[in-house]
Amino acid sequence: MKEDAKIYCAQMEEIKKRVACINQFLNSSFSYGVDHYDYEVVCIHLRKILELIAFSNLAANKNEVDKMHKNIEGMWNARKLLKLIGRINPDFYPKPIEISAPDSRGVKIINFIENGYLTKEEWVQLYNLCSDFLHVWNPYNERERFVNFKISVSEWVQKIQNLLGVHTVQLLEDRIFTVFMNYPMDGKVHAFPAEPADESKIHKS
């Protein structure tokens, strides 16, 4: 595996750990005793997951990462962040796929998943929802301190898992990889190069 793919996989492993932390917290009866403390725990992990999704495919290129970190300092606008990343790599966002079982010829068909996953628009929405709880609350703000997640946190997590479970991603220099978050052989993240010759086997569902 190329070095950039290895780094990408390491970032995906970090996402898996943070998803596990959220699920463990949600499935336990533990609480800090103050609602907004509980929100903060969930929000910080969700926010880190979103940043990992957005920035992971740049992680293998030190020059681009250095430039990116300089440009994002103090930038909290989610749409601007995605736009900035898109200037470096327009196809940075993962594309969730399903892979069929081999047919009689031993050919597997790749189908792009059309719904049920975290879209770019939902990435922006969730990023913004989490933002209020990453900073000290304004003591003069009388608004109740809670997050209206629109859907349950468990549903957000499921959308993230649907996005990443098996996906293709284009790293810099037009390198495309198929990524398995839980590869059957060892349960770890694995990335395999997708050769141009395979394009004839890629179909939208």
Neighbouring residues of 141: CB distance < 8 A, sequence distance ≥ 6:
none
Q: Over 60: is that where the pLDDT of 16 sits?
A: yes
**Residue 70 pLDDT:** 63
Q: Look at residue 44 in the predicted model and tell me its pLDDT.
A: 93
pLDDT value at position 4? 80
What's the confidence (pLDDT) of residue 27? 93
Q: How confident is the model at residue 59 (pLDDT cuts 50, 70, 90)?
A: low
pLDDT value for 197: 42
Whether pLDDT at 9 is above 90: yes
The more confident residue out of 196 and 10 is 10
Measured CA to CA, the distance from residue 137 to residue 159 in angstroms comes to 29
Name the more confident of 35 and 15.
15
Helix (H, G, I), strand (E, B) or coil at 28: coil
- pLDDT band of residue 69 (cuts 50, 70, 90) is low
Q: Is a pLDDT exceeding 90 seen at residue 190?
A: yes
Q: How are strands ordered across the β-sheet holding 190-193?
A: 190-193, 175-180, 166-171, 95-99, 110-112, 202-204
> What is the chain's mean pLDDT, rounded?
83
The per-residue pLDDT for 153 is 93
Q: Would you say residue 71 has pLDDT above 80?
A: no
pTM for this entry:
0.84
Angle at 87 between CA 81 and CA 88, to 5 degrees: 100
